[in-house]
């Protein structure tokens, strides 16, 4: 049975001395049903349960209007129906014959807490009845029935006392004091507790107490005054005990760190800092408000000067009134308080100084007031920490001084920022106008770069002329800003110049040679088609003359000039630092040689990128008509490499006469590498307009020798070992053209079988194009076969892959 339901139906109004007493009893029964079926049910309720919603409506209605509980009344039948429906639920969703209407433990605790409320006077809610001891003895007789023990009693009674204090306006401090005493007992109980239900309820109650205490203590300056200051110690004790039990009594994680954590100290530290920050904010708001009212009055004090006086008063009040109480848990309570005030005022002072463009009388007045305030705060901190282990060092470290030097430093930083911003604007504006004319000066560098470097040099000169005592401290910030401007110049100057991938042609699909049609109108049409197709594939820049080869050379010279000038500037800076009267010797060369590292690194990277861009632009774009569209198109003997070499030599002369000698070798080496790559692309991916016979191998090899000789230039060009190093790939592939077709086919089969294993025996797979040409790579050998003008090669490719004759 559901006992409250049966009692409701069986007990009559005549069993009570009055109807009022009967109605009060019924209300208690309804609360019991609500607690057992809705608040602490045996099985958790679904949020959408209609029975739960109906029961709430019935109970709400019974409170407003008495419910008839006779057996035959419809209201009672409805109540019984919904109660039994909720009580007889089972885990599988079916209706059980047994009732498990409430979760015993939480319901029992709820009943026990209600019983404990009998200890209070009905007419004076803040007073405990005189017979409290006798009542408690009676209540304790329910322990066995309700499953309560001394630990649970302490927890419940402590909560009742605390809750009664809070709910009655927080005026009876004896209630709070009694709750705190019980919490001390609970602290002992918690250390021995192993019951999970107890720990869960303990955690819930303590978190509630901790939240309440925290709200008051995080703003104790506003909450506690002369009339209630006596309760501060009890509130702190409640908060600290709650936090301690939660961490030490419940948390498993804490038990391995007992020597590392001081919960009480940390908690009170947090309260002090929080309350002082709030009190400071209120003072600041008040000063700002009064300032607005008196802004038209003559000889008014600056806001921060008035605030410094108010903060001084606040600090002495803290030392006299609050710190003696808080010192019980935090030995440096006053020190932490003044350190917090020091930090808060320091934040405002820094904002004030950051808005100063010059040292005005107001600024001086504020700095003097700040200095006086700081001396008072430091004095309180020192006195408070005389007996501490570190002599107050930790607190003093939290109070970085308000030095006039810091204000001067900020003004100097403002000076730096203005000049850096001005240089950024200049760089952006002048780069848009730069035409990169290699003949603009004898060094073939951009005039805009000369101007940027001159501005940087003048800025550095002006910086060392500033009458400040911290050149070495502020120098990294100045150089960082100038370095960023110069890096921006380099990055913008190289943008849009292209790279290897912009110019390298797209490789056409594999085809096999067309026998018997190597000459004539068909080949001419195919050649024209290929040239047109190539034109659409060539990566270009934006068509602007500023991206021509001479202009790109001018850019490279400019980046090299920047690198050289940065080295000079760094040496000059070291000399200027040594000449400064205020600079300590240990700060002079501290990392100065790497200060312009961003722009220096960007210049190196830009030289590398543009060198490669020039190479691939020349080979695959500017000379595409004599290389990609001309070399070996049609008859090999009549389309050899001489036209390409003639035009390439012309470009090499332009580059040699334009590019700075420190980077000239690099650029020409990149052109050589690109030309070797282009030569291989013609041989291995030149499209259906090209075909090579076995006899053409000598011509190809001779042409490549001519290409290498161009870069060697009878010893006046690149070193022979450098040419040998980068020509290795081509030289390793050229012997394939000397091999007869049958040997090539056998070699291709062997390499393919090695790569793919036995799966390639039934049908040769088509090896993918890696672009890493190598005589031992199947795709490379296959491409030699694709361009072999030979019946055997054509039939093999037709049978193995059914390759088309044209695109």
The predicted-structure confidence for 732-768, as pLDDT tens digits, reads as follows 999 999 999 999 999 999 998 888 877 767 788 889 9
Alpha helices in 88-195 (DSSP H): 104-116, 132-140, 143-146, 150-167, 173-192
751 membership: H or E segment, kind and range: helix 741-756
Could you report the per-residue pLDDT of 475-501, keeping only the tens digit for each?
999 999 999 999 999 999 998 888 888
Torsion of CA 489, 494, 496, 498, to 10 degrees: -170
Whether 543 has a pLDDT exceeding 60, the answer reads no
Mean pLDDT of 504-510: 88
Mean pLDDT of 215-220: 94
| Burial class of residue 109 (count of CB atoms within 10 Å of its CB; 0-12, 13-18, 19+) | buried
Cβ–Cβ under 8 Å, residues 772 and 680: no
Positive/negative CA dihedral, 699, 705, 708, 714: negative
- Position 590 scores a pLDDT of 52
Q: Domain extents for the chain? A: 3-88, 106-251, 265-292+301-402, 739-806
Low-confidence winner among 194-208, 279-293, 386-400, 575-589 (lowest mean pLDDT)? 575-589
Q: Who has greater pLDDT, 439 or 148?
A: 148
Whole-number average pLDDT of the chain: 86
- Position 530 scores a pLDDT of 44
Could you report the per-residue pLDDT of 137-176, keeping only the tens digit for each?
999 999 998 889 999 999 999 999 999 999 999 888 999 9
Q: Would you give the distance in Å from CA 201 to the centre of its chain?
A: 39
What is the distance between the alpha carbons of residues 218 and 535, in angstroms, rounded to a whole number?
Answer: 75
| Residue 505 DSSP symbol | P
Q: Who has greater pLDDT, 272 or 194?
A: 272
Closest-CA residue to 478 (of 414, 427, 425):
414
Whether 3 has a pLDDT exceeding 80, the answer reads yes
**Six token digits for residue 117:** 């409320």
- Position 208 scores a pLDDT of 95
> Residue by residue, what is the 3-state secondary structure of 669-710?
HHHHHHHHHHHHHHHHHCCCCCCECHHHHHHHHHHHHHHHHH
Cβ–Cβ under 8 Å, residues 632 and 687: no
Measure the CA angle with vertex 478, ends 477 and 480; round to 5°. Answer: 65
Collapsing DSSP to helix, strand or coil, 275 comes out as helix
For the chain, what's the residue count?
A: 807
Mean pLDDT of 121-133: 90
Q: Would you give the distance in Å from CA 183 to the centre of its chain?
A: 43
- Split at pLDDT 50, 70, 90, the class of 617 is very high
What is the distance between the alpha carbons of residues 393 and 405, in angstroms, rounded to a whole number?
Answer: 23
Low-confidence winner among 67-76, 91-100, 585-594, 686-695 (lowest mean pLDDT)? 585-594
Mean pLDDT of 269-276: 95
Could you report the per-residue pLDDT of 632-682, keeping only the tens digit for each?
998 999 999 999 999 999 999 999 999 998 999 999 999 999 999 999 999
Residues sharing a CB contact under 8 Å with residue 588, sequence separation 6 or more, in sequence order: 472, 574, 577, 578
Residues sharing a CB contact under 8 Å with residue 190, sequence separation 6 or more, in sequence order: 199, 202, 245, 248, 249, 250
Low-confidence winner among 50-59, 367-376, 385-394 (lowest mean pLDDT)? 385-394
**Taking the model in full, what pTM does it have?**
0.54
- Split at pLDDT 50, 70, 90, the class of 626 is very high
- Split at pLDDT 50, 70, 90, the class of 320 is very high
> Residue by residue, what is the 3-state secondary structure of 82-101?
HHHHHHCECCCCCECCCCCC
Residues sharing a CB contact under 8 Å with residue 188, sequence separation 6 or more, in sequence order: none
**Six token digits for residue 754:** 């090695």
Measure the CA angle with vertex 495, ends 489 and 497; round to 5°. Answer: 125
Collapsing DSSP to helix, strand or coil, 579 comes out as helix
Q: Would you give the distance in Å from CA 485 to the centre of its chain?
A: 25
CB-CB neighbours of 610 under 10 Å = 25
- Residue 552's Cβ-side half-sphere holds a number of Cα atoms within 13 Å equal to 28
Mean pLDDT of 455-484: 87
Closest-CA residue to 783 (of 684, 676, 679):
684
Mean pLDDT of 378-401: 86
- Split at pLDDT 50, 70, 90, the class of 531 is very low
Could you report the per-residue pLDDT of 22-70, keeping only the tens digit for each?
888 988 888 888 888 888 888 888 877 888 888 888 888 887 788 777 7
- Position 581 scores a pLDDT of 59
**Six token digits for residue 183:** 């919490």
Closest-CA residue to 67 (of 45, 87, 82, 47):
82
Cβ–Cβ under 8 Å, residues 308 and 369: yes
- Position 469 scores a pLDDT of 66
- Position 647 scores a pLDDT of 94
- Position 329 scores a pLDDT of 93
- Position 256 scores a pLDDT of 47
Q: Who has greater pLDDT, 636 or 806?
A: 636
Whether 201 has a pLDDT exceeding 70, the answer reads yes
- Split at pLDDT 50, 70, 90, the class of 251 is low
Cβ–Cβ under 8 Å, residues 505 and 537: yes
What is the distance between the alpha carbons of residues 593 and 704, in angstroms, rounded to a whole number?
Answer: 46
- Position 589 scores a pLDDT of 52
Whether 343 has a pLDDT exceeding 80, the answer reads yes
Whether 257 has a pLDDT exceeding 80, the answer reads no
- Position 89 scores a pLDDT of 82
């Amino acid at each position: 049975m559901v006992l409250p339901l049966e009692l409701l139906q069986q007990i009559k109004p005549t069993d009570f001395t009055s109807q009022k007493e009967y109605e009060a009893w019924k209300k208690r029964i309804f609360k019991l049903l609500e607690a057992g079926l809705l608040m602490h049910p045996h099985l958790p309720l679904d949020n959408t349960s209609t029975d739960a919603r109906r029961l709430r409506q019935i109970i709400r209605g019974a409170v407003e209007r008495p419910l008839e509980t006779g057996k035959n009344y419809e209201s009672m039948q409805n109540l019984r129906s919904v109660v039994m429906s909720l009580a007889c639920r089972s885990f599988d969703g079916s209706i059980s014959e047994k009732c498990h209407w409430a979760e015993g433990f939480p319901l029992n605790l709820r009943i026990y807490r209600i019983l404990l409320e009998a200890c209070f006077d009905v007419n004076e809610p803040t007073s405990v009845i005189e017979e409290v001891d006798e009542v408690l003895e009676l209540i304790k007789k329910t322990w066995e029935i309700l499953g309560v023990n001394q630990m649970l009693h302490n927890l419940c009674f402590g909560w009742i006392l605390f809750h009664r204090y809070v709910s009655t306006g927080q005026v009876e401090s004896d209630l709070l004091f009694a709750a705190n005493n019980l919490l001390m007992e609970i602290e002992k109980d918690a250390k021995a507790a192993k019951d999970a239900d107890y720990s869960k309820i303990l955690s819930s109650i303590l978190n509630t107490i901790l939240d309440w205490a925290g709200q008051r203590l995080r703003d104790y300056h506003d909450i506690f005054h002369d009339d209630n200051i006596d309760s501060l110690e009890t509130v702190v004790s409640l908060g600290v005990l709650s936090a301690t039990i939660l961490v030490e009594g419940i948390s498993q994680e804490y038990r391995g760190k007992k020597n590392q954590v001081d919960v009480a100290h940390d908690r009170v530290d947090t309260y002090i800092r929080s309350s002082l920050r709030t009190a400071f904010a209120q003072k600041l708001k008040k000063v700002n408000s009064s300032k607005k009212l008196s802004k038209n009055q003559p000889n008014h004090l600056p806001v921060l000067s008035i605030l410094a006086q108010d903060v001084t008063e606040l600090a002495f009040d803290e030392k006299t009134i609050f710190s003696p109480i808080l010192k019980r848990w935090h030995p440096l309570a006053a020190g932490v308080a003044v350190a917090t005030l020091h930090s808060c005022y320091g934040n405002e002072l820094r904002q004030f100084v950051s808005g100063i463009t010059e040292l005005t009388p107001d600024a001086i007045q504020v700095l003097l007031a700040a200095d006086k305030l700081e001396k008072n705060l430091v004095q309180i901190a020192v006195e408070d920490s005389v007996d501490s282990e570190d002599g107050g060092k930790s607190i003093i470290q939290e109070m970085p001084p308000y030095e006039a030097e810091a204000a001067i430093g900020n003004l100097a930083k403002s000076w730096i920022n203005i000049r850096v911003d001005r240089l950024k604007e200049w760089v952006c504006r002048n780069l848009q106008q730069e035409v990169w004319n290699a003949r603009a000066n004898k060094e073939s560098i951009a005039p805009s770069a000369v101007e940027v470097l001159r501005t940087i040099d003048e800025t550095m000169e002006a910086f060392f002329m500033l009458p400040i005592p911290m050149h070495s401290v502020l120098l990294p910030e100045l150089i960082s800003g100038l370095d960023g401007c110069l890096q921006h110049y380099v990055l913008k100057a190289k943008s849009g110049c292209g790279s290897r991938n912009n110019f390298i042609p797209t490789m056409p699909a594999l085809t096999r040679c067309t026998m018997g049609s190597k000459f004539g109108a068909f080949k001419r049409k195919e050649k024209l088609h290929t040239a047109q197709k190539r034109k659409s594939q060539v990566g270009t820049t934006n068509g602007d003359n500023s991206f021509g080869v001479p202009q790109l050379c001018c850019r490279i010279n400019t980046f090299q000039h920047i690198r050289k000038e940065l080295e000079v500037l760094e040496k000059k800076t070291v000399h200027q630092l040594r000449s400064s009267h205020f600079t300590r010797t240990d700060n002079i060369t501290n990392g100065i040689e790497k200060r312009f590292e961003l722009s220096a690194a960007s210049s190196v990277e830009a030289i590398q990128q543009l060198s490669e861009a020039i190479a691939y632009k020349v080979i695959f774009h500017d000379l595409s008509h004599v290389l990609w569209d001309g070399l070996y198109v049609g008859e090999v003997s009549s389309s050899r490499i001489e036209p390409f070499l003639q035009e390439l030599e012309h470009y090499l002369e332009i580059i040699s006469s334009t590019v700075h000698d420190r980077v000239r070798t690099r650029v020409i080496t990149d052109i050589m590498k690109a030309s070797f790559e282009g030569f291989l692309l013609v041989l291995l991916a030149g499209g259906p307009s090209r075909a090579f016979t076995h006899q053409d191998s000598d011509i190809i090899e001779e042409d490549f020798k001519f290409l290498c000789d161009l870069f060697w230039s009878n010893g006046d060009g690149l070193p022979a070992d450098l040419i040998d190093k980068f020509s290795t790939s081509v030289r390793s592939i050229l012997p394939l053209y000397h091999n007869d077709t049958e040997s090539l086919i056998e070699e291709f089969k062997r390499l393919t079988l090695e790569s793919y294993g036995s799966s390639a025996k039934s049908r040769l797979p088509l090896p993918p194009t890696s672009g890493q040409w190598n005589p031992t790579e199947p795709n490379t050998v296959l491409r030699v076969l694709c361009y072999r003008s030979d019946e055997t090669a054509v039939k093999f490719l037709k049978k193995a892959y059914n390759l088309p004759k044209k695109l």
